[in-house]
Chain A
Amino acid sequence: QVQLQASGPGLVKPSQTLSLTCTVSGDSISSGSFYWTWIRQLPGKGLEWIGYISYSGSTSYNPSLKSRVAISVDTSKNQLSLKLSSVTAADTAVYYCARENGSGSYYLDYWGQGTLITVSS
């Protein structure tokens, strides 16, 4: 059973860089046709895709966030990371990591529990 566990600081000051980590267990982050993904949900709003890093190491980002986002993996720790720079209050959200399965069709089959990030001074 694949499990994802996101972790982060909880509170980030405006203009700083948000850094989140997602630890994957039950599968190797470098195996298969998977896209390791970050998604966020602003308070009371819907789901917003942030970006992914593929099994081959290529990345893709939401055009609206692309200038501020970087996603990477540490295969030795089986971890996925997200960095979002120059944060503002508008970045306050629950951040989820998830695995997108690209075999046959595309779907997010495993999700982490989410971590709430508040941007405030």
Chain B
Amino acid sequence: SSELTQDPAVSVALGQTVTITCQGDILRRYYAGWYQQKPGQAPVLVIYGKGNRPSGIPDRFSGSSSRDTTSLTIIGAQAEDEADYYCNSRDITGYHVVFGGGTKLTVL
């Protein structure tokens, strides 16, 4: 299967650590990308490959993967981290792109 499954909503207290997960059999083959989307804005890449951060992404964002699950961790969550987070990957054919359903992160 090429489906990617995310929890619909996650919350974290300000300054605490939160992990958002993305699960799918295809992740045994491909690394996922992680995207942050704030209301009314385009998604922004925050993690790619084996836990790489694009320039400009704070180092409180990190990524890891194990077997069929990839994780996005925010250490010391800030108010500005409140957003929707999506994972994506190529599918089993290698030619199509799939997205997880997204996780709405609330910072309390």
Contact = CB atoms under 8 A, between A and B. Distances in A.
Contact of A47 (B49, B88, B90): B88
Chain A binding surface, main DSSP class: strand
Given A49-B96, A108-B33, A114 B42 contact: yes
Nearest to B33: A107
Given A105-B31, A106-B90, A109-B48, 4 more contacts: A46-B102, A49-B88, A52-B97, A105-B30
Contacts of A109: 45, 48, 54
A23 interface: no
B45 A108 contact: yes
A55 interface: no
Interface in A41-97: 46-49, 52, 60, 62-63, 96
A111 B42 contact: yes
Interface residues of A, number: 22
27 contacts: A46-B99, A46-B102, A47-B37, A47-B86, A47-B102, A48-B99, A49-B88, A49-B96, A49-B97, A49-B98, A60-B95, A60-B96, A63-B96, A96-B43, A100-B97, A104-B49, A105-B30, A105-B31, A105-B33, A105-B48, A106-B90, A107-B31, A107-B88, A108-B33, A108-B45, A109-B54, A111-B43
A60 B42 CA distance: 22
A46 B86 contact: yes
B101 interface: yes
B69 interface: no
B90 to A, nearest CB: 5
A46 B97 CA distance: 14
Given A60-B96, A106-B30, A47 B43 contact: yes
A104 B33 CA distance: 12
Nearest to B8: A46
B62 interface: no
B97 A106 contact: yes
Among A49, A63, A96, A108, which residue has the most Cβ atoms of chain B within 10 A? A108
The 7 closest A-B pairs by CB, nearest first: A107-B33, A107-B48, A49-B97, A105-B31, A105-B49, A111-B42, A46-B102
